[in-house]
Structure 1
Amino acid sequence: MRNLVLALALVPLPAMAEFFTLKGHGGPIMGIAAAPDGRIATASFDNSVGIWTDQSPEWLEGHEAAVNSVVFNGTAIYSAGDDFTLRQWPGGQIVGRHKGKIVGVAASKTHVATASWDGTIGIWPVDGSSPSMLGPTGSGVNAVAFTPDGSQLYSAGVDGTLRLWDVASRQEIDRLVEHGFGINELVLNAQDNWIAYGAVDGVTRILDLSSGEERDFTLDRRPILALALSPDRRLLAVGDGEGYIMVIDTGDWRIAQDFRATLRGPVWALSFSADGQNIHAGGIDEAMYSWPVAALSEHEQMAASEPSFLKNPDQMDNGERQFTRKCSICHSLSPDSQRRAGPTLHKIFGRKAGSLPDYLYSDTLQDSDIIWNEETINALFDEGPDHYIPGSKMPMQRITGAQDRIDLIAFMRRATAPED
């Protein structure tokens, strides 16, 4: 396991209603949760969760792939991600496992629910007793939300269906929406008896659970990737794939603010602060941004500096272009791993696979006899990691052009060589 220490002073988080950023992750921010006591949890593509009580976080490490969702539940924290696992912290023990990536988590007083692309919903008792599964639904599940007493659960799926389940009987008891496109996100407001959902085609609607009436706040932006409800239930924040945060006033049913949060990339994660004064957001940048709700547009946008993987391809030779597209989001070229999803590639040539002491490798890679050189790197991208090293954490991708692989290897040879 990586044992990286940030050389930062213990600086308290700024007071809410001030703009601030939380920096330290080595990849995009995929999920955010705010605890009643003011702590903030960030789930990242770099395989870790950050717990922030000040600006020097506690790192929760153990996931073997990107972490997509995190939730506070009493004294425990639960996180889930692309390694198919649900983990409980402190400790990081695996309390649940799916057959596909987990993209959503919800918690009640007695259970944690997981939404998985394997088409099922996991119901995991917090007391450690036997879990159960809802479904299969026939398609991936993107989001889940418990009713306040935990007896029922709403789910949103890739098939565009918004379902209601009875947790005890494990039976589907209603289909509230059958949308023509996948529903990515949902938020339940049980006190006011409505549920909001956001879809791949940009649809943003609020369904009255008593009358069945829908209020439509769809704008010409897609997909919807994040929803968050303020603690007083008066504001609903909506994040989309084009970098905007729309804020809906649920008292007057109007769009109160529409803020271009980032010029580069989507808004993947949203959460209100515990006191409701700030909106926390994450996206393609390696930091979480927090804006005062009352003054969103008066402060810095996300991704003010361009990530390397968004660099203009015309400014690179072909080898660097291949590296930027295929490798740079997970790997650094510097001597340390910089909290990336993958280990540093510094001095990669001649190195045994799975041998760096500060990175948590899959057993498959750690136990292999591969030595990284021109031939093995060429084979990795020619066959694809899923075929060349079955069972490794590396994403499924190939570089099919022989000259593209030659150019990539030449760039890596130059860029990863030890300094004289």
Structure 2
Amino acid sequence: MRILVILLLLAVPAAAQEAVHGGPVRALAVSGGALASAGFDQSMIVWDPELGRARAVVRWHAGAVNALAPLPDSILPGGFASAGEDGRIALWPARPGAQPARVLEGHTEPVVALALSPGGARLASAAWDGTARVWHLAGGVVRVLEGHRGNVNGVAFRSDGMVATAGFDGTLRLWPEQGPAVLLAEFGFPLNALAALPDGVLAVGDVRGVLRLVAPDGAVREAQAGARPIVALAASPGGAVLAVASLGGSVTLWEVASLRLRHTLEGPGLPVWSAVFAPDGASLWTGGTDRRVRRWNALTGRPIGPLGGEAAQDIPEGANPHGARVWRACAACHALTGGDSGNMAGPHLHGLFGRRMGSLPGYEYSERLARGDIVWTRETVADLFTRGPDVVTPGTKMPIQTLGNEEDLRALLDFLEAATR
């Protein structure tokens, strides 16, 4: 079942000690003693992981923040790089202010992955403009890497310093310092995630849930990590363990040497978009559609607890219980009540039925939604969920997702009618 998630944009301050993302957590990174998370709500939150509290909440990108990477001490000690839907890469100090210390521009479509080189002199980015770029952090673009057919979804520096990229075209490419790319492997299905392991080994995850480890000579070992697309990979310090996150809602931990499944971390059952190990390798952080950053014992696979405030929304008394279950995916981005909805990615749905599309003041709607030529009724909401936003509102930024089960759709509409009054 595919659920429509409406990702509209806003910018509302959140109290640091009670910070929580207003949409799916798309990226995680560790730098110094801090942890950063970023997501579809346009925000980056810098956490003190030991206290479980946020140091800062930053909104600067014009759109979702898709990728994070640590910065070396020689550039910004304890700092982070962030990249997003707006195609820009921002460099932030350990305690960020309202504006980044530096901005790297050149990509023309969303940047979806970042990687720091061994030694920290270079930063690589992958984007949906069909290119990857290598930036020398002392200043300027080192190289634009062109060759993939379509979106470049993953980028990593191999242990020897060479750049690797993975794309929607199903290819894994290696880029020497000079000359064209080397086609290291071609798998026939889109590749969503890429991570570097010791000895020049690369880990890639595809849309069918297949995990592959590719050696420098092209030899491949593979395992079925799940039935849903793999969307994030994270290697432990030293590279002995690999975390694999999927849209299926779970994270699996694999021993790299034997490609043996060590643990399956059962989360809230919603897509997990991001993962990163703590510097000591004892903890794993994950983020996903439930808007939470969760901590796990990487040795036992047991949960330790989430960071920040409470992400759950109160369900009105008497609301359709089946519809409330379907609503869980929508709750990642939308509040049911009006007023200050906190750090949410989308506008609140209070008074939804009878409201004109794109009419709430203070929200940065996409151009299509801002036209306001649809009034939300039970019939128009059902049409949106049935045909999909790309058909009902062509040109919208909404993801192309639908809810095809009639019973689920009817229950959700019953729920919304009661819960948004």
Q: Give the 3 Å change call, closer, same or farther, for CA 363–156 of structure 1 in structure 2.
A: closer
Q: Give the 3 Å change call, closer, same or farther, for CA 282–230 of structure 1 in structure 2.
A: same
Of the candidates 40, 46, 54, which is equivalent to residue 41 of structure 2?
46
Distance in 2 (alpha carbons) for counterparts of 1:399 and 1:227:
28
Aligned-partner SS, 1:269: strand
Paired AA for residue 300 in structure 2: A
Give the fraction of aligned pairs with identical amino acids, expressed as a percent: 31
Of the candidates 94, 105, 110, which is equivalent to residue 96 of structure 1?
105
Name the TM-score, length of structure 1 as normaliser: 0.74
Unaligned runs of 5+ in 1: 10-22
**Alignment size in residue pairs:** 383
Of the candidates 273, 288, 294, which is equivalent to residue 278 of structure 2?
273
Q: Which has the higher contact order (CA 8 A, sep 6+)?
A: 2
Contact 2:272/2:289 (8 A) holds in 1: yes
Distance in 1 (alpha carbons) for counterparts of 2:374 and 2:150:
38
Contact 1:308/1:328 (8 A) holds in 2: no
Residue 69 of structure 2 corresponds to 71
Contact 1:202/1:218 (8 A) holds in 2: yes
Distance in 2 (alpha carbons) for counterparts of 1:301 and 1:326:
18
Contact 2:336/2:420 (8 A) holds in 1: yes
Q: Give the 3 Å change call, closer, same or farther, for CA 164–4 of structure 1 in structure 2.
A: same
Contact 1:124/1:131 (8 A) holds in 2: yes
In the TM superposition, what is the alpha-carbon distance from 1:389 to its structure 2 partner?
A: 8.5
Q: Give the 3 Å change call, closer, same or farther, for CA 271–351 of structure 1 in structure 2.
A: same
Contact 1:270/1:282 (8 A) holds in 2: yes
> Are 2:147 and 1:124 aligned?
no
Aligned-partner SS, 2:53: coil
Distance in 1 (alpha carbons) for counterparts of 2:374 and 2:209:
44
In the TM superposition, what is the alpha-carbon distance from 1:125 to its structure 2 partner?
A: 3.5
In the TM superposition, what is the alpha-carbon distance from 1:206 to its structure 2 partner?
A: 1.7
> Are 2:75 and 1:80 aligned?
no
**Any idea what the Cα deviations from partners look like across 1:115-151, whole Å, max 9, x if unmatched?**
122321133343443564211411211100124575x
**Any idea what the Cα deviations from partners look like across 1:79-126, whole Å, max 9, x if unmatched?**
223333333324246522534332211123333222122321133343
Aligned-partner SS, 2:301: helix
What is the aligned-residue RMSD (CA, Å)? 4.3
Contact 2:356/2:376 (8 A) holds in 1: no
Contact 1:69/1:104 (8 A) holds in 2: yes
Aligned-partner SS, 2:299: helix
Residue 126 of structure 2 corresponds to 115
Distance in 1 (alpha carbons) for counterparts of 2:126 and 2:224:
24
Paired AA for residue 182 in structure 2: D
Contact 2:23/2:344 (8 A) holds in 1: yes
**Any idea what the Cα deviations from partners look like across 1:155-203, whole Å, max 9, x if unmatched?**
0111111101135x4x43311111121222222124x232222222222
Contact 1:269/1:282 (8 A) holds in 2: yes
Aligned-partner SS, 1:172: coil
Contact 2:357/2:372 (8 A) holds in 1: yes
Distance in 2 (alpha carbons) for counterparts of 1:79 and 1:224:
22
Paired AA for residue 56 in structure 1: R
Unaligned runs of 5+ in 2: 1-9
Of the candidates 175, 181, 202, which is equivalent to residue 209 of structure 2?
202
In the TM superposition, what is the alpha-carbon distance from 1:364 to its structure 2 partner?
A: 5.2
Q: Give the 3 Å change call, closer, same or farther, for CA 327–65 of structure 1 in structure 2.
A: farther
Q: Superposition pairs for residues 19-418 of structure 1, below 5 Å?
A: 24-35=20-31, 37-53=32-48, 54-57=51-54, 58-74=56-72, 75=76, 76-89=79-92, 90=96, 91-92=99-100, 94-108=103-117, 109-130=120-141, 132-147=143-158, 150=161, 152-167=162-177, 169=178, 171-190=179-198, 192-209=199-216, 211-219=217-225, 221-250=227-256, 252-255=257-260, 257-262=262-267, 264-297=269-302, 315=321, 324=327, 328-334=331-337, 335-346=339-350, 356-357=361-362, 361=364, 395=399, 416=420
Distance in 1 (alpha carbons) for counterparts of 2:313 and 2:240:
35
